[in-house]
Amino acid sequence: MTTVVLADDHQLLRQAVRRALEDAGFAVLGEAGDGEEASNLAGRLQPDVVVMDVTMPVLDGIRATRRIRELAPGARVVMLTMHGEESLLADAIDAGASAFLTKDCSLQEVVKAVRSAADGDVMLSPDLAASLLDQFRDPAADTPAPSPLTKREEEILQLVADGRSTTEVARELFISAKTVKNHLASIYVKLDARDRTQAVLSGVRMGIVHLR
Amino acid sequence: MTTVVLADDHQLLRQAVRRALEDAGFAVLGEAGDGEEASNLAGRLQPDVVVMDVTMPVLDGIRATRRIRELAPGARVVMLTMHGEESLLADAIDAGASAFLTKDCSLQEVVKAVRSAADGDVMLSPDLAASLLDQFRDPAADTPAPSPLTKREEEILQLVADGRSTTEVARELFISAKTVKNHLASIYVKLDARDRTQAVLSGVRMGIVHLR
DNA sequence: GCCAAAATGGGTCCCGAGACCTATTCCCGG
DNA sequence: CCGGGAATAGGTCTCGGGACCCATTTTGGC
* B68-125 confidence digits (pLDDT tens): 888 888 888 888 887 667 677 777 777 778 888 877 677 877 888 888 888 877 777 7
Question: B129–A93: do the CB atoms touch at under 8 Å?
Answer: yes
Comparing C-alpha atoms, which of B95, B30, B31, B87 is closest to residue B62? Answer: B95
Task: From residue A140, give the alpha-carbon distance in Å to each of A144, B3, B93, B149, B201.
Answer: 6, 39, 19, 30, 18
Comparing C-alpha atoms, which of B4, B179, A64 is closest to residue A78? Answer: A64
Burial of A23 (0-12, 13-18, 19+ CB in 10 A): exposed
Q: Tell me, what amino acid is at A158? A: Q
Q: How far apart are CA A160 and CA A169, in angstroms?
A: 7
* pLDDT higher at B141 or A44: A44
- Name the pTM for this structure: 0.61
Residues B117-170: tens digit of each pLDDT: 888 777 777 667 666 666 655 554 555 557 789 999 999 999 999 999 999 999
A-chain CB neighbours of B126 within 8 Å are 98, 120-122
**List of B residues 145-184 with CB within 7 A of strand C:** 165-167, 181-182, 184
Q: How far apart are CA A167 and CA A157, in angstroms?
A: 13
Question: B204–A196: do the CB atoms touch at under 8 Å?
Answer: no
% of chain A residues with pLDDT over 90: 36
Burial of B57 (0-12, 13-18, 19+ CB in 10 A): exposed
Question: A204–B200: do the CB atoms touch at under 8 Å?
Answer: no
Nearest protein residue, CA measured to C1' of D10: B178
